[in-house]
Amino acid sequence: MVGRAYAIFDTAIGRCGIVWSNSGVVAVQLPEAREIDTRRRIFQVHPEAREQAVPVNTELAIEGIVSLLQGSEPDFSDVSLDAGHVPAFNRRVYEYACTIPRGETRTYHEIAKALGASGAAHSVAQAISRNPYMIIVPCHRVLEAGGYADRISPYGGVISKRRLLALEGAHPIASKTLFEVLLPVAPPRSPS
């Protein structure tokens, strides 16, 4: 195989996509509302990828993804990732995310601190938002301060972090209330 290839596969939440190279998995695309949209997302990011038969490494990744999305414990220990296009800091974040136990979460700040870059919570958030290895690298276990689970990477399709965490038995705070969003930016009230 030269370049990149992809496959579409069935899971409990819909048809997912996976992209790989000779070096390993390049990206995982969780399902969009329609399969054509999942394929379109793959082509937007990896226009050179062609649909091909799945090699052993990619099959192991697919089995793990299917397992997690059925609520079981996946095993990604033998799955190779192609991280040639991933910045070094992001790789460190992804390696740390892989150590977070199933059913647990960490905040961006906690990961930044654990990596020895305590002021880099924003950089951790950026790395998580760019995670191409959905499910394999469990970015859904990394939340913003306060344990909110609303955002997911562009490869997330229509599924949310909340849904992925619920499959694992974790229960983050669903979303911010209107007061939590507006209060920090509201002008101070003058005493009456």
Active site residues: 139
Counting every residue written for the chain, the total comes to 192
Single-letter code of the amino acid located at 143: L
110: left (phi over 0), alpha (psi -120 to 50) or beta: alpha
Beta strands in 48-161 (DSSP E): 50-51, 106-107, 142-143
Q: Which helix (H) or strand (E) holds 57?
A: helix 56-69
Both tokens of residue 20?
């790989």
Residue 106 near residue 143 (C-beta atoms within 8 A) = yes
